Structure 1
Amino acid sequence: MNKQQCKLVALVVAVALASGGGGYWLSRQGQTEHTASPAATAADATGGKVLYWYDPMMPNQHFDKPGKSPFMDMQLIPKYADEGGEAAGVKIDPGVVQNLGIRLATVESKTLTETVDAVATVGFNEREVAVVQARSPGFVQRVYARAPGDVVSAGTPIADLLVPEWAGAQQEYLAMRNTGDKALANAARERLRLTGMPESLIRRVEQTGTLHPIVTISTPIGGVIQELDVRSGMTVSMGMTLARVNGLGSVWLEAAVPEAQASRVRTGQSLVAQLTAYPGKTFKGKVIAVLPQTSADSRTLRVRIELPNRDGRLKPGMFAQVRLEAGTDKPVIMVPSEAIIRTGTRSVVLLAGDGGRFQPVEVQLGQEAGGKSVVLNGLAAGQKVVASGQFLIDSEASLKGVLARMAEGSAVPAPSSTPSNNKTAALNQASGKVEAIKPGEITLSHGPVASLGWGAMTMTFKLAKPELAAGLKPGDNVSFGFSQQGSDFVVQQLGKSGGTP
């Protein structure tokens, strides 16, 4: 079986186990590396530069020399310099990538266009309201044939009122005018205005020279009569509301925008509305207000939209659907949303390099629109990311050490879930130098450990008792004994020594 076939077999195994073991490689990315600082690069028999050796089941533990793994019953695997080190991720033969149908996507820099769809209802424009009131006490002489809900034009008569106070003021004005005293006449005319008499009625009195105590109340604007509180023969007082008229030149849409999309709506934004009453017709308007309160029940934001209604087709109470388009002024970095791998605590994408190399990159995400996500940090335009088949690459990375051994034609023994008894029970002796001390643990750069077949390295040990490190500081030479407890190495004995590790 050649290398290509070996890799295909291993990938098939990876796919079969993906549901149970997938995500191991991605979950390990970004964790604190807990170990070995190789002293120098080496070269194996093939002439390739070796950075360090590692156990594929514990890839974060590095060793300076080849040998048997202290964790599993298997040989350590070399990490070559031409593999690009830790940041290179994993390398897969381009032919295998093509056969598995792994699809790549290009990171784009473009202006984001977001669409907000919402439902709305048509309502009256509350800014086009006229209230008709009595300016002086009087009596209703006549009521014209009007009723709430009638659509009227500006100047439509509503009722005739007899105002006795106006009759007395008019008579006084005409008397002052006949005296020829211009100052007295002007004062009397001003008194007519102060009683609330319309300017048109004052001019009529001047022109005719007769009294006009009856005034016709008319609508100041065109629209629909919403209230009509006047009846023939009734007495009215000053300031009493006789009618309320709402204009129909424009209408409001009250749209309910989901709270998650509230940041995409702003005052002055243009939009398109469609009404179920007029299929295929679109109406253009703009946002005139974003109300400062969110509905606690539906978690929606109320947005007020104004639409022109010159032909009167838009009736309050109609149902509408609105679409707002919001865009960013500056280009943003975007990737397909399917390329994002969400591990629960981080968002990761697989960055594709040359020669079948794939590297996991942590990204900071922004908004999502149209099946694409904004990347705030972590990627640059023009890069390639894996859009589908990420779990296959993850499985390939998890079985990376297995594939390397299969390529050499050797079998890989199954890993043991617990260390062997002779390793856990024995107390391994070594000497070294203190690098760092933290509560409950100590970092030592130690020499070879003959009982385990380890070479010199730097690693962190657990302390069986915190007082073992009492009086020690970084730089002290020590002798120590440790044992393995589960996956941890615990120092049981620790003391200063005068020698060099």
Structure 2
Amino acid sequence: MKATDLIPRTPAGRAAVLAILASGAIGFGVARLTETAPPATSSADSGKGKPLYWYDPMVPTQHFDQPGKSPFMDMQLIPKYADAGGGAAGSAPGVNIDPAATQTLGLRTIAVRRGELASGVTATGTIDFNQRDVAIVQARAGGFVQRVYARAPGDVIGAGAPLADILVPEWAGAQAEYLAVRRTGNAALAQASRQRLTLLGMPAGTIAAVERGGRPHNVVTVSTPTGGAIKTLGVRSGMTVTAGQTLAEVNGLGTVWLNAAVPEAIAGQLKPGQSAQATLAAYAGETFSGRVSAILPDVQPDSRTLTVRIELPNRGGRLKPGMFATVSFGGSPQTALLVPTEALIRTGKRTLVMLALDKGRYRPAEVQTGREAGDDTEILAGLNEGEKIVASGQFLIDSEASLSGVEARPIGNAAPVVATKATAALYETVGRIERLTATSVTLSHQPVPAIGWPAMTMTFALPDAGVARGLKTGDRVRFGFDQPPAGPTVRRMAKVSGQ
């Protein structure tokens, strides 16, 4: 029988054979991902000393003191040695990746860098009336409505627009008395009688008309003190009104509010007085500028958002309450420690990155993230500038690290920046400026685990005043310092968000 006779003659048969060969190749590639030795049956055979513990690769977080069968899977427990993970004895934990597999998997590393992160925040909102620009029109005296001027709720009217003519019988007698007193020539009595007309609620224009015409005017035209949209209208022809009764409510349209829903996670970046730009579907390609007038104190429980109120000028009344808008909040870029967003591994409980160590070794590290802008994410803690991380393919390494039981580096154990010939080693932490002079800065800072410092308040030297340019007392900053013979010296300092 020839070898060619074993190849199926039908297309379906040939496809099945190819699938079997492909699965074998995949298994071979996965087997080469990490440089691991076959599980040792005893510590004497392994040559690695006594195991630290035994574990099930499917449940690497559960450790056992003795070898045996896994209670979780039908397999033997695997020993864990002090130098496991491909590193030399005494080295930091991690996993080794075959250099050939690194290229095959397309692993790409990138250095943690310091750069400018745009502080812009984008949200959506709706246009609403400016509730500070409301006029209430009331009847000044009891009477009867003789005429209305065909107004309706929702109408847009100008300032001084008439609403209704009201007959006030009480005013006729008071005005006749005033005219009679004026004819006596007694100035004091005339002034007292005129004051009585004012106290009865007569507008100054009505009193002036009585004086000019010399006859009573007991029909008054009620008009609006300001222009805008009629929100409520409670006056109709023939009805009786009483003193103080609300006849209409008019809301001005010179400015409007844009109520934007901002997630509470980023609301701390906003403050009253900050500039904002809005775009509306009704006016494509046009931008409306305004400022944040208030951040309302309550959080919407269903959406976990805060309402940020922006006041916008409304020239020509083009912005209508109820319109939908997209708003972006401006702000100057801030210096921050940045990594590509694609490099983050979000587990739900924490966020990890995969550190690229020396000699093809990798280790997960826990990080605390801040703002995001574009393709970059701010790192608040857990990494230092210059450390290398995996930007693509990190999920495969993370899976192998989990199976090998490699623990992630905690946030507090981030290594300091390695010294070079050009620059001294810098230690980084976050603090608050308590006092600032031209030559020194006093900071209340967080712990510095790399050199064993606890959280405390201390004074650092400032060799260059430009390091603190734009900063002031009370600012929260991330700073890097070294320890020359003259004492701790701040070499760089940048303001961070979240004050």
Deviations 1:406-432 (A, max 9, x none): xxxxxxxxxxxxxxxxxxxxxxxxxxx
- Asked whether the 8 Å contact 1:89–1:358 carries over to 2, the reply is yes
Which residue pairs with 2:353 in the alignment?
Answer: 349
Q: Which amino acid aligns with 1:322?
A: T
Which residue pairs with 1:324 in the alignment?
Answer: 328
Q: 1:91 to 1:226 in 2, by over 3 A?
A: closer
Deviations 1:146-185 (A, max 9, x none): 2332221111112222222222222333333333333322
In structure 1, distance between residues paired with 2:327 and 2:78: 64
Measure how far apart 1:330 and its partner are. Answer: 5.0
Q: Which amino acid aligns with 1:340?
A: L
Identify which range, 161-170 or 353-362, moves more after superposition.
353-362
Match of 1:193 among 184, 190, 198: 198
Q: Which amino acid aligns with 2:383?
A: L
Which residue pairs with 2:71 in the alignment?
Answer: none
Classify the secondary structure of the residue corresponding to 2:150.
coil
Measure how far apart 1:223 and its partner are. Answer: 1.4
In structure 2, distance between residues paired with 1:236 and 1:120: 40
**Number of residue pairs matched by the alignment:** 352
Structure showing greater Rg: 1
In structure 2, distance between residues paired with 1:102 and 1:152: 67
Q: 1:344 to 1:197 in 2, by over 3 A?
A: closer
Classify the secondary structure of the residue corresponding to 1:230.
coil
Which residue pairs with 1:374 in the alignment?
Answer: 378
Which residue pairs with 1:310 in the alignment?
Answer: 315
Instruction: Point out where structure 2 has 5 or more consecutive residues left out of the alignment.
Output: 1-24, 37-47, 56-65, 68-76, 405-499
Correspondence 1:143 to 2:148? yes
Q: 1:181 to 1:379 in 2, by over 3 A?
A: same
Show the 5 A alignment for 1:6-405: 13=28, 15=30, 85-87=90-92, 89=94, 97-98=102-103, 100-318=105-323, 320-325=324-329, 330-342=334-346, 346-353=350-357, 356-391=360-395, 393=397
Q: What TM-score does the superposition give when structure 2 sets the normalisation length?
A: 0.59
In structure 2, distance between residues paired with 1:343 and 1:123: 40
Q: 1:141 to 1:384 in 2, by over 3 A?
A: same
Q: Which amino acid aligns with 1:15?
A: V
Instruction: Point out where structure 1 has 5 or more consecutive residues left out of the alignment.
Output: 1-9, 25-51, 60-69, 401-501
In structure 2, distance between residues paired with 1:193 and 1:398: 86
Q: 1:77 to 1:199 in 2, by over 3 A?
A: closer
Classify the secondary structure of the residue corresponding to 2:92.
helix
- Asked whether the 8 Å contact 1:11–1:396 carries over to 2, the reply is no
Measure how far apart 1:300 and its partner are. Answer: 3.7
Measure how far apart 1:97 and its partner are. Answer: 4.1
Classify the secondary structure of the residue corresponding to 1:274.
strand
Q: 1:142 to 1:105 in 2, by over 3 A?
A: same
Classify the secondary structure of the residue corresponding to 1:315.
coil
RMSD between superposed Cα atoms in Å:
4.3
Measure how far apart 1:388 and its partner are. Answer: 1.5
In structure 2, distance between residues paired with 1:322 and 1:237: 46
Which residue pairs with 1:484 in the alignment?
Answer: none
In structure 2, distance between residues paired with 1:209 and 1:356: 105
Tell which has more relative contact order, 1 or 2 (C-alpha 8 A, sep 6+): 1
In structure 1, distance between residues paired with 2:403 and 2:310: 58
Q: 1:228 to 1:348 in 2, by over 3 A?
A: closer
Measure how far apart 1:17 and its partner are. Answer: 8.7
Which residue pairs with 2:413 in the alignment?
Answer: none
- Asked whether the 8 Å contact 2:136–2:246 carries over to 1, the reply is yes
Q: 1:78 to 1:340 in 2, by over 3 A?
A: closer
Deviations 1:455-500 (A, max 9, x none): xxxxxxxxxxxxxxxxxxxxxxxxxxxxxxxxxxxxxxxxxxxxxx
In structure 2, distance between residues paired with 1:205 and 1:91: 101
In structure 1, distance between residues paired with 2:348 and 2:260: 34
In structure 1, distance between residues paired with 2:143 and 2:403: 98
Q: 1:197 to 1:11 in 2, by over 3 A?
A: same
Classify the secondary structure of the residue corresponding to 1:86.
coil
Q: Which amino acid aligns with 1:370?
A: G
In structure 2, distance between residues paired with 1:367 and 1:176: 77
Q: Which amino acid aligns with 2:337?
A: I
